[in-house]
Amino acid sequence: MSSSYPPLAQALVDTMVSAADGAPDRAVAFQGAPGAYSHQAVREAFPDGLPLPCAGFEDAIEAVQIGRAGCAVIPIENSLHGRVADMHFLLPESGLSIVGEHFVRVRHCLLGLTERADLREVKSHPQALGQVRRHLRACGIAPVQFFDTAAAAAAVAGEGDARVGAIASRLAGELYGLNILAEGIEDADHNTTRFVVLSRNAVLPAADVPVMTSFNFEVRSVPAALFKALGGFATNGVNMTKLESYLRDGKFAQAEFYAEVEGGPHDPAVARALEELAFFTNWVRVIGTYPKARDRAA
């Protein structure tokens, strides 16, 4: 674990790591300090699991690869900021399968040691600070960048300066004994992060469960390659909910794409569309077929 955690967070990390190491099959890896929104996602999606905090996304993925954790819960996109950096590389390269998805409504809290009137500055991750920018300006509170929302809460609790607060989750406030001075202070009320559950082994959902399928592919360097590659999804009536492009290894000729569709390869329409996709691409990798979250539409 990273030594950069504030002492209060490190103490929780050590306790949680010890518990998870004692029952790796129940361990659920996540990135961040205890109290992070990823930690909240683990508690919601796996109430009986043992959260395993990891310093980075690669560490959380590796924990699953080597059997230290049964699965990992990783953020993939946010309704305000779009794709989480490097996920389009890490997911297909991990060799793991997506076996589930979970949505977390991000409700930022203003946390402090005493009263709101005492605050002069707040610490948090730059993205969180950007999401509460108008609220902070209206209150005359200066933002201070920190590497992690929950770690910022731990730092504030440990430093003991009533003039300094944090922007983090309610969970972080509860874990580190901070007062919740305000809740839901984000500037956009739709702020939601989507997480995926990664496992060493694919899990075939029940036949009557609505599913999603995630995959990536590389188009051939020929005219209209993408148009032709995606034509099979249109002609077979398959709904594609996500399509993102990215470049790898300094190549500017052939783009790689990450895509998601409703349905699974066991559906004849999806199977035909994937077969047609393979004809117009250099390769196709299915990363996972998994149950569609109930609150996806919301």
Catalytic amino acids? 193, 195
Rounded CA gap, 167 and 93, in Å? Answer: 33
**Strand 50-54 to strand 27-31: parallel, antiparallel, or no bridges (unpaired)?**
parallel
Reduce the DSSP state of residue 138 to 3 states and report it.
Answer: helix
Residue for token digits 């099959």? 25
Residue 223, phi then psi, degrees to nearest 5: -55, 140
Please name every residue paired with 210 in a beta bridge, in sequence order, or none if there are none.
Answer: none
Query: Which amino acid does the sequence have at 78?
Result: N
Rounded CA gap, 232 and 170, in Å? Answer: 46
Rounded CA gap, 169 and 210, in Å? Answer: 31
CA 152 to chain centre: 19
DSSP 280: T
Pick from 167, 104, 174, 100: nearest CA to 139 = 167
CB 105 within 8 A of CB 191: yes
**CB atoms inside a 10 Å sphere around CB 87:** 17
CA 160 to chain centre: 31
Largest CA distance in the chain: 64
Rounded CA gap, 33 and 202, in Å? Answer: 28
CB 187 within 8 A of CB 134: yes
DSSP 117: G
